[in-house]
Amino acid sequence: MVSFDQTEQELVDDLEGIGILLRDHLEKDLFIYTISTDAYADHIAGEFSLDSVHSLLQMAPDVNLLRKEVSRFFTKLKGLGITSLIISERGQRDFDLDFLSDCNIMLDMRLEEEQSTRRICVTKLRGSSHQTNEFPFLIGEEGIQVLPLTSIRMDYETPDDRIPTRIPGFDRMLEDKGYFKGSSILISGTPGTGKTSLALWLADAACLTDSKTLFFSFEESESQLLRNIGTLGLDLSKHCGSGCLHFHTGSSSEFSMEHHVGRFLSLCRTVGPDLVVFDPVSNMINVGSPYQVKNLLMRMIDFFKRCQITSIFTSLAYEEGASKEVAMEISSLMDLWIRLDSTKVGDKRKKTLQIVKARGIDCDTSDKQLIMGQGRIAVEDLVI
């Protein structure tokens, strides 16, 4: 028994007056704890937690009586200036505690297409405005991470620095200066048009300026990437050895969509990159819809822009007449969109490159020939 109002002796004496003898039970099967206002304030750090109140519910024959007593108990704590936390599970029996609290937080976990996602929602917060949407959250090595989408505010600083691509002919398409630092760049194209090679070439250009690069690959291993790009005359292993280039490879279906976000952001905080590459981001369709992929990119791009990190996303496009490509879903998020394709000239096919858009740059949007081979990569005028 816990008493906030009377001492142990007062309780015993008062109850003896109505024929209830507690003295014989003391220290045997009855323990009385007396907490005065002053004593409570001195010994409690300011917080009280009850986990889980539904356990009390299972033992209570009268839910209304239990609700009344719990209400009286926490009203007393509130009067003492104590922050109280009630943890409850939604069960079959009705035990609404919403009326007690100043803030209600609802947690949930759902399984959709074999992927489970934890979600959090603030349904009530007295005296303050708050968002009522559900947000995914993660529980991992860094604790609890909430990944809100609608909290994104575009109030970050925008750098004016330009980064050259070091690709002959390509920089001329970008005012001979390259792209802006902190840009989000999309490289889309049909299979075999050189999306990964172009992304690796841009990663090499960043490493040559001592910029750290974080390369996420969802289709090829690190050794395979290094071997294949070596045919274009690039030796990226030296950048790996110097610590400028970091590869992280793995299947996109290994984790849920939200787990991927937490993993990406955690690695970015650890490495501290100046450039991040995702190859190909279209593989994320394996763990979510195009809408969910777009939301994932919105969260990541917001983080990158706040940190002035340049981000490159490759995306697989399909032949004309197929379903909408992921690139079309995410292109509005991009500052620079590079589209690769191939065109048949005679009995051969030529790779082509076009800048679809480049925010803040007076770019050349005409189709160019992308030359990859014989130990080089270059952009030249397309001759048909």
Nearest to 254 by CA among 216, 290, 224, 226: 216
Contact 256, 264 (CB under 8 A): no
Give the Cα separation of 141 and 80 in Å (integer): 36
Tell me, what's the pLDDT at 358?
94
What pLDDT is recorded for position 92?
A: 46
Per-residue confidence (pLDDT) for residue 1, from 0 to 100: 56
* Residue 113 CB burial class (10 angstroms; 0-12, 13-18, ≥19): exposed
Q: Indicate the DSSP class of residue 324.
A: P
| Helices vs strands, H then E, count in the chain | 11, 19
What tokens appear for 251 in the block? 């299947």
Q: Are strands 184-189 and 310-316 parallel, antiparallel or unpaired?
A: parallel
CA pair distance 275, 58, nearest whole angstrom:
55
Position 324 scores a pLDDT of 45
Question: In the prediction, which pLDDT does 94 show?
Answer: 47
Q: Give the pLDDT of residue 46.
A: 67
Rounded Cα gap, residues 28 and 32, in angstroms:
11
CA distance 270 to 93: 47
Domain 162-381 is in which class?
alpha beta
Taking the C-alpha atoms of residue 96 and residue 75, their distance in angstroms, rounded to an integer, is: 16
Neighbours of 188 (CB within 10 A): 27
Domain boundaries, the chain: 102-145, 162-381
CB atoms within 10 A of CB 202: 25
Measured CA to CA, the distance from residue 234 to residue 230 in angstroms comes to 5
pLDDT tens across the length of the chain (384 residues): 556 556 778 777 876 775 667 777 776 666 665 655 455 445 555 677 666 666 666 666 676 777 777 777 777 778 877 888 777 776 544 456 677 788 888 888 877 666 677 888 888 888 888 877 887 777 766 677 776 655 556 777 888 999 999 998 999 999 999 999 999 999 999 888 999 999 999 999 999 999 999 999 988 999 999 999 998 888 999 999 999 999 998 877 676 667 777 778 788 888 999 999 998 887 777 666 677 777 778 878 888 888 899 999 998 876 553 334 455 567 888 999 999 998 887 778 889 999 999 999 999 999 999 998 777 889 998 887
Give the closest residue to 355 by CA, choosing from 342, 371, 368, 374.
368
The pTM of this model reads 0.70
In this structure, what token pair is assigned to residue 237? 């292993």
- Pairing state between β 348-358 and 336-345: antiparallel
CB 380 within 8 A of CB 169: yes
Please, are residues 229 and 200 in contact by the beta-carbon 8 Å criterion?
yes
The phi-psi region of residue 12 (left if phi > 0; otherwise alpha if psi is between -120 and 50; otherwise beta) is alpha
Task: Measure the CA–CA gap between 165 and 168, rounded to whole angstroms.
Answer: 8
